[in-house]
Amino acid sequence: MTLSQYYNPITYVIPTEEEGWILKDILQRKLGVSRKLLSRLKQSEEGIQLNGEKVYISVPVRDGDVVEIRMEQESSDDILPQPIPFDILFEDEHLLVVNKAAGMIVHPTKGHYTNTLANGVVHYWIEQGQRFRFRPVHRLDQDTSGVIVIAKNPYVHQHISEQMADNQVDKNYIALVHGSPHPTEGMIDGPIDRDPAEPHRRIVTATGYASLTRYRLLEKYKNASMIALKLESGRTHQIRVHMTSIGCPLIGDTFYQHPCYSEDMEMGEIKELDQYMGRQALHANELSFFHPILHQSMTFKAPLPIDMQQLLNKLLGSI
């Protein structure tokens, strides 16, 4: 395999205070290489180098030594490239940040092999003459719009995923909901698990997995509100489940419907707003994380999509 078949190296220069360390310790403790990735790098001809030479990871390092790790280029050959437009917020050689449109599935699944964000991104990379494997660091529901991060190599994916697991990534959302929360600001602490009667559905249950959502009322309308939300955990459908649990389901959410739906009542404005929106009114408007290669905090914002803005204008007209 030639160097052209590797991504650009990630480099680390040994400082004086780390002279005498074993290379393996540098790779794991300073570069943060996981055990799984370390195993892959060791099997690669150019995967681990010290001062331009392949060495055993048991060797000691000296002040000023240059450590390099190179990952082999990969591609998502199992994903059909499709010319699907998408909104790029940021891109460098390590990651891609996208403002996902509502209605778009992130990754192909059983029964949905095409017309996903992955199909569009893979096509885009091919058009750019680039080879990367599609590695989303996190997911958004099909009908949720907003910021999503895609790693271009396993090292970046590992590090941002670890930040997610350690709750070091700020995930902020805007939602338009029925009703108004009381109090107007707080934390929803409601364990979430699958509904035994309907496995695709999630419910708040004492035996569920710990789930925390911070919320804050931004604006109140006639029978609806705009809410700012911040996830402190990352459960499936978390915001939708939590807001329903406090009596403020998302407008347009037909899966986690307004409680009145089950009471065979005249819905009036509630039903009208749901039909007007056509999908859950939820948008991932801001995401912040630490770039593992550039070593700096980065924040990305996505403006409110047109359909939510139109709903907002409708709500403003009913004040």
Examine residue 253 and state whether it is found in any structural domain, yes or no.
yes
- Predicted confidence at residue 223, as pLDDT, reads 86
Q: Are 40 and 136 part of one and the same domain? A: no
pLDDT in tens, the chain (319 residues): 455 688 899 999 999 999 999 999 999 999 999 999 999 999 988 899 999 999 999 999 999 999 999 999 999 999 999 999 999 999 999 999 999 999 999 999 888 899 999 999 999 999 999 999 999 999 999 999 999 999 999 999 999 999 999 999 999 999 999 999 999 999 999 999 999 989 899 999 999 999 999 999 999 998 899 999 999 988 999 999 999 999 999 999 988 876 655 444 346 778 888 899 999 999 999 999 999 999 999 999 999 999 999 999 999 886 5
The reply to whether omega before 191 is within 30° of 0 (cis) is no
pLDDT of amino acid 258: 62
AA identity, residue 9: P
Terminal-to-terminal C-alpha distance of the chain: 66
Residues 136, 191 share a domain: no
Q: Is residue 149 in some structural domain? A: yes
Residue 222, domain extent: 171-283
- Verify that 124 and 142 share a domain, yes or no: yes
In this structure, what is the dihedral angle of CA atoms 47, 53, 55, 60, given to the nearest 10 degrees?
A: -120
Structural domain includes residue 312: no
- Total domain count for the chain? 3
Bridge partners of 196, per DSSP, are none
In the prediction, which pLDDT does 317 show?
84
Please identify, among 112, 139, 159, the residue that sits at the C-terminal boundary of a domain.
159
The catalytic residue among 25, 87, 141, 274 is 141
Q: Which of 45, 139, 133 is nearest to 95 (CA)?
A: 133
- Would you list the DSSP string of the chain? --GGGBPPPEEEEPPGGGTT-BHHHIIIIIS---HHHHHHHHHSTTSEEETTEE--TTSB--TT-EEEE-PBP---TTS-------EEEEE-SSEEEEEEPTT--SS-BTTB-SSSHHHHHHHHHHHTT-----EESS---TT-EEEEEEESSHHHHHHHHHHHHTT-SEEEEEEEEES--SSSEEEEE--EEEETTEEEEEEE-TTSB--EEEEEEEEE-SSEEEEEEEESS--TTHHHHHHHHTT-PBTT-SSS--GGGGGT---THHHHHHHHH-S--EEEEEEEEEETTTTEEEEEE-PPPHHHHHHHHHHHTT-
Least Cα distance to 233 among 165, 185, 300, 283 occurs for: 165
Domain boundary among 69, 97, 119: 69
Shared domain for 21 and 84, answered yes or no, is no
Q: Can you give the CATH number for the domain in which 54 is found?
A: 3.10.290.10
pTM for the complete prediction? 0.90
Distance CA 146, CA 126 (A): 24
189 noted as active-site residue: no
* 125 within domain boundaries: yes
**Are both 145 and 240 inside the same structural domain?**
no
d(CA 188, CA 177) in angstroms, rounded, equals 15
Same domain, 125 and 211: no
Residue 48 in tokens: 């681990």
Burial (CB < 10 A; 0-12, 13-18, 19+), residue 285, is buried
